[in-house]
């Protein structure tokens, strides 16, 4: 099998793992939250921001990354974490708030850190961009050709840190790629109502760096363009801004009634499901159905095991809350 | 005496909801049209108004499942 | 005939207050993220877009330092902006506009340029939103000169304090606690939903309220901890201990007079807040009391420990203040020989 084909099958399977993971987390999240949706109840309290629909962004980019490359992500991190190679059992355990979780239950779903694959995420918009510049510089200063990738939403392009990070990365020629997952909605506010330009990729010009706009939530197109940007960074060519048009299939957070989203848009969402579209494309190009079925089956098994591991985990103790504040 | 019934068309599907907040207490005087409570159905909230004036007797506490058509209070 | 009862949530009280002032004064406008069509993630601006239109009710981009800075400029020009910082935890991206500009505008200008803006912001946790979405930060904001910082514990205070805040020529940080807001999806402390008059009224900012009279000990709380203190007081009363509960209402300025008047009688003091302990509200109140009153027992403060807010409920709930912790503290204070 060609390298490219094996990459494509990896992308397909990883998207399925990601989607199955989100569906399992959603089901667990909603336990105890019916009939009244009270965020504090159930095995997973708090907010939950799912990535259903945005999987191509994660796999198209992370297909090119090594464990030693750094990735920072946002409040909507699961698909990126999975594509980066974060241990999904320990990630699930963290989301369930267990001792076996990545931070022993201290961080939860928006604050996932996996040092083994250099992945982290945080909940304040655009604030992961500076650290990505730093991780990139650390690699450069140590003489490695590792890169850093910062995943953000399109709303983050209006935050001060975005502009500072792009400028700094450009001035330092940092080996960093900034990836905008443009799902067109910042909670209830449409991108066109909040953003002075129609394509954030155009903003790259303000910082003298290349900007790429990728339409269609297409894993293969994303793979191609992200590959160029990451390669450019590895070879000392500096930063790139990559903007990907993607689709948010669920609400901003679980519990979001999405009354602000036009009915026609909601009705059309299922047809824009990138995993179904990609599977159809792979079949059309000659990949056997049972190969794809098998990958889906493996994906489901991995997710089932991860969730079971999480549910079987131990609840943290009160004393553990006071630990790890300082090293 | 009037029953306070959840209107059959208050929300769309045949989903269960639950009262999330009562704005009056047992025994309070209410007027016709007063907003008595909030009902949450999945992620949306709806209000139920008093169909008449009188003394409120609450039948259903918060977080107890209710359906459209259920009587949640009496007004006497 | 008794006045008609009309109970509303803090969310509705805030929206009503803003609407009153927007009707009365064309210089009042409201802006922030998701406050227009959505009516605010926490329901505090519902109905405003429909009544006042998009010139005066503005959804902003995710650009806190720009739009809060813009509010400072509008205030300098004589407008009365009400601007929302969605979660107080987000202050890191816009603090300069708040503590270096808004807070110092009157001082730097010798009183010639005021800053009549309201910064409303959600605070508090207890529902699993973890370290960056659950903080209260009373002390962080209360510590910086030039800001008024207030937090209502119920809908009546919320309406009166919001109207006062909008009319105040100074910058007011109006904090609203998520556990009290009235959003069904967050769970709400029922005792924050109270009778609120239809009409506009003011509650003077900087005045605490004695919400329960008692002779044995003074308990000071604010926001959510007022309700915990009241729960504890009811329990303690069964054992014959009468606690006086004070709702601080204002982190800055602090109503030291009300606290000292109470403690001068009870001679026992407990402070309860859900902000980090060190350098916090409790520290400030205990110092105030210790400087002025000879107590019959050592004072105590119940606060949040000096740790980031943990996600897992077993950890989060173990470290939050509670009625049980208040009862135990009162017993230990009054049991001292």
Cβ-defined contact of C34 to A156 (cutoff 8 Å): no
Q: How far is CA A261 from the centre of its chain?
A: 22
The two three-digit tokens of residue C150, written as one number: 């207030």
Phi-psi region of A246 (alpha: psi -120 to 50; beta: other; left: phi over 0): beta
Q: Domain C7-195 is of which CATH architecture?
A: 3-Layer(aba) Sandwich (3.40)
What are C266-291's pLDDT values in tens digits?
999 999 999 999 999 999 999 999 99
DSSP A64-104: T--TTSEEEE-SS-HHHHHHHT--HHHHHHHHTT-TTSTTT
CB within 8 Å of A274: residues ≥ 6 apart: A15, A53, A55, A56, A217, A218, A219, A246, A247
Overall average pLDDT of the C282-305 stretch: 98
Domain count, chain B: 1
Of the given ranges (A3-7, A160-164, C43-47, C296-300), which has the lowest mean pLDDT?
A: A3-7
DSSP class of residue C112 equals S
Cβ-defined contact of A186 to C61 (cutoff 8 Å): yes
The two three-digit tokens of residue C300, written as one number: 């105590």
Interface test with chain A among B15, B17, B43, B45, by most A beta carbons within 10 Å: B43
CA distance A106 to chain B (A): 27
Give burial (CB, 10 Å; 0-12/13-18/19+) of B26.
exposed
Q: What is the CATH number of domain A3-313?
A: 3.40.50.970
What are B12-31's pLDDT values in tens digits?
888 889 998 899 889 988 99
Backbone φ and ψ for C57, nearest 5 degrees, come out as -130, 100
Pairing of strands C7-8, A176-182: unpaired
CA angle A250, A256, A261 (to 5 degrees): 70
What distance in Å separates the CA atoms of residue A97 and residue C36, rounded to the nearest whole number? 35
Residues of C with Cβ-Cβ distance to B45 under 8 angstroms: 184
We report the CATH number of the domain holding residue B9 as: 2.40.50.100
A260 at B interface, C-beta within 8 A = no
C190 at B interface, C-beta within 8 A = yes
Q: What is the mean pLDDT of chain A?
A: 95
Given a cut of 80, is residue A3 above it in pLDDT? no
What are A270-300's pLDDT values in tens digits?
888 999 999 999 999 999 999 999 999 999 9
Write down the pLDDT at residue A2: 67
What are A63-103's pLDDT values in tens digits?
999 999 999 999 999 999 999 999 999 999 999 999 999 99
Q: Quickly state the pLDDT bin for C1 (edges 50, 70, 90).
A: very low
What distance in Å separates the CA atoms of residue C5 and residue A15, rounded to the nearest whole number? 55
Residues of A with Cβ-Cβ distance to B72 under 8 angstroms: none
CB within 8 Å of B68: residues ≥ 6 apart: B6, B7, B8, B9, B10, B11, B14
What are C55-113's pLDDT values in tens digits?
999 999 999 999 999 999 999 999 999 999 999 999 999 999 999 999 999 999 999 99
DSSP C191-258: GG-EE--SS-----TT--EEEE--SSEEEEE-THHHHHHHHHHHHHHHTT--EEEEE--EEES--HHH
Angle between helices C256-266 and C281-292 (to 10 degrees): 60
Residue labelled with tokens 């105890």: A32
Helix then strand then coil, in percent of chain B rounded to 5, is 0, 50, 50
* Number of residues assigned to chain B: 76
Write down the pLDDT at residue C186: 86
What distance in Å separates the CA atoms of residue A114 and residue A120, rounded to the nearest whole number? 6
B63 at C interface, C-beta within 8 A = no
Residues of A with Cβ-Cβ distance to B37 under 8 angstroms: none
Given a cut of 60, is residue A213 above it in pLDDT? yes
Distances (CA, A) of A80 to A51, A152, A202, B65, C162: 9, 11, 24, 38, 42
* End-to-end alpha carbon distance in chain C: 52
Supply the ipTM of this predicted assembly: 0.93
CA distance B20 to chain C (A): 5
Q: What is the pTM of this model?
A: 0.95
- Contact yes or no for C303/C275 (Cβ under 8 A): yes
Chains touching B by CB (3 or more pairs below 8 Å): A, C
DSSP C138-178: HHHHHTSTT-EEE--SSHHHHHHHHHHHHH-SS-EEEEEEG
Active site residue C64: yes
Exactly one of C64, C84, C284, C316 is catalytic; which is it?
C64
Cβ-defined contact of C2 to B40 (cutoff 8 Å): no
DSSP A146-199: --EEEEEEGGGGGSHHHHHHHHHHHHHT-SEEEEEEE-SEETTEEHHHH-SSS-
Given a cut of 80, is residue A1 above it in pLDDT? no
Cβ-defined contact of C5 to B31 (cutoff 8 Å): no
What distance in Å separates the CA atoms of residue C250 and residue C138, rounded to the nearest whole number? 10
Interface test with chain B among C1, C7, C179, C194, by most B beta carbons within 10 Å: C7
Chain B residue closest in CA terms to C186: B20
CA-wise closest residue to C312 among A188, A282, A96:
A96
A35 at B interface, C-beta within 8 A = yes
What are C16-66's pLDDT values in tens digits?
999 999 999 999 999 999 999 999 999 999 999 999 999 999 999 999 999
Exactly one of C16, C21, C33, C133 is catalytic; which is it?
C133
What are C188-241's pLDDT values in tens digits?
899 999 999 999 999 999 999 999 999 999 999 999 999 999 999 999 999 999
Is residue C263 classed as helix, strand or coil in its secondary structure?
A: helix
B34 at C interface, C-beta within 8 A = yes
CA distance C304 to chain B (A): 28
Q: What is the CATH number of domain C209-334?
A: 3.40.50.920
Output C279 or A188, whichever has higher pLDDT.
Answer: C279
Active site residue C316: no
Chain C residue closest in CA terms to B17: C184
Write down the pLDDT at residue A37: 84
DSSP class of residue C75 equals H
Q: Quickly state the pLDDT bin for C337 (edges 50, 70, 90).
A: low
For chain C, which residues make up each domain, given as ranges?
A: 7-195, 209-334
For chain A, which residues make up each domain, given as ranges?
A: 3-313
């Amino acid at each position: 099998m060609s390298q490219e084909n094996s990459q494509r099958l990896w992308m397909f399977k990883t998207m399925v793992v990601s989607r199955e993971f989100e569906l399992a987390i959603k089901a667990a999240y909603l336990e105890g939250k019916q009939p009244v949706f009270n965020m504090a109840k159930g095995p997973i309290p708090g907010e939950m921001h799912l990535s259903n629909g945005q999987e191509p962004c994660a796999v198209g980019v992370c297909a090119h990354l090594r464990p030693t490359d750094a990735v920072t992500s946002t409040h909507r991190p699961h698909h990126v974490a999975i594509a980066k190679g974060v241990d999904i059992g320990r990630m699930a355990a963290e989301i369930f708030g267990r001792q076996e979780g990545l931070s022993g239950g201290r961080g939860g779903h928006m604050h996932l850190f996996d040092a083994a694959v250099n992945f982290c995420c945080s909940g304040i918009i655009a604030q992961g961009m500076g650290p990505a510049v730093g991780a990139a510089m650390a690699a450069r200063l140590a003489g490695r050709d590792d890169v850093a990738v910062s995943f953000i939403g399109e709303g983050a392009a209006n935050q001060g840190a975005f502009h500072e990070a792009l400028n700094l990365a450009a001035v330092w020629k940092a080996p960093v790629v900034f990836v905008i997952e443009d799902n067109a909605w910042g909670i209830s506010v449409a991108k066109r109502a909040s953003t002075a330009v129609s394509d954030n990729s155009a903003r790259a010009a303000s910082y003298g760096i290349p900007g790429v706009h990728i339409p269609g939530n297409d894993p293969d197109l994303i793979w191609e363009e992200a590959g160029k940007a990451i390669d450019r960074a590895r070879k000392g060519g500096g930063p790139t801004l990559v903007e990907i048009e993607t689709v948010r299939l669920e609400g901003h957070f679980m519990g979001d009634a999405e009354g602000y989203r036009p009915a026609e848009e909601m009705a059309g969402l299922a047809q824009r499901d990138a995993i179904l579209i990609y599977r159809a494309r792979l079949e059309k190009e000659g990949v056997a159905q049972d190969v794809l079925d098998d990958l889906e089956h493996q994906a489901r098994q991995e997710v089932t095991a991860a969730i079971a591991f999480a549910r079987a985990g131990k609840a943290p103790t009160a004393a553990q809350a006071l630990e790890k504040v300082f090293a | 005496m009037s029953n306070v019934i959840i209107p059959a068309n208050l929300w769309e599907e045949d989903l269960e909801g639950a009262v999330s907040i009562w704005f009056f207490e047992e025994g309070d005087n209410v007027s016709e049209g007063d907003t008595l409570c909030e009902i949450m159905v999945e992620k949306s909230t709806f209000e139920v108004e008093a169909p008449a004036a009188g003394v409120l007797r609450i039948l259903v506490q918060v977080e107890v499942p209710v359906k459209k058509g259920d009587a949640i209070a009496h007004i006497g | 005939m008794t006045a008609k009862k009309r109970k509303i949530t803090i969310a509705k009280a805030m929206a009503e207050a803003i609407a009153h002032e927007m009707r009365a004064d064309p210089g009042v406008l409201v802006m922030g993220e998701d406050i227009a069509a959505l009516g605010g993630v926490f329901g505090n601006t519902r109905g405003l877009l429909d009544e006042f239109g998009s010139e005066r009710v503005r959804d902003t981009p995710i650009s806190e330092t720009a739009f809060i800075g813009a509010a400072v400029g509008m205030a300098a020009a004589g407008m009365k902006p009400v601007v929302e910082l969605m979660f107080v935890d987000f202050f890191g991206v816009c603090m300069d506009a708040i503590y270096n500009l808004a807070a110092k505008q009157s001082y730097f200008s010798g009183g010639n340029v005021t800053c009549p803006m309201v910064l409303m912001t959600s605070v508090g946790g207890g529902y699993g939103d973890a370290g960056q979405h659950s903080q209260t930060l009373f002390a962080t904001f209360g510590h910086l000169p030039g800001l008024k910082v207030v937090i209502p514990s119920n809908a009546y205070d919320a309406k009166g304090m919001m109207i006062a805040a909008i009319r105040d020529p100074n910058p007011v940080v109006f904090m609203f606690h998520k556990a009290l807001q009235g959003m069904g999806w967050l769970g709400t402390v029922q005792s924050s939903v109270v009778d609120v008059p239809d009409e506009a009224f003011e509650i003077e900012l900087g005045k605490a309220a004695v919400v329960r009279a008692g002779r044995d000990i003074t308990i000071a709380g604010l926001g959510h901890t007022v309700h915990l203190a009241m729960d504890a007081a009811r329990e303690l009363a069964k054992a014959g201990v009468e606690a006086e509960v004070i709702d601080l209402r204002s982190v800055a300025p602090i109503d030291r007079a009300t606290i000292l008047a109470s403690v001068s009688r009870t001679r026992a003091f407990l402070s309860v807040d859900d902000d980090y302990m060190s350098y916090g509200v409790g520290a400030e109140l205990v110092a105030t009391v210790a400087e002025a009153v000879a107590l019959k027992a050592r004072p105590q403060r119940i606060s949040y420990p000096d740790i980031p807010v943990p996600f897992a409920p077993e950890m989060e709930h173990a470290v939050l203040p509670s009625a049980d912790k208040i009862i135990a503290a009162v017993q230990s204070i009054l049991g001292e020989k």
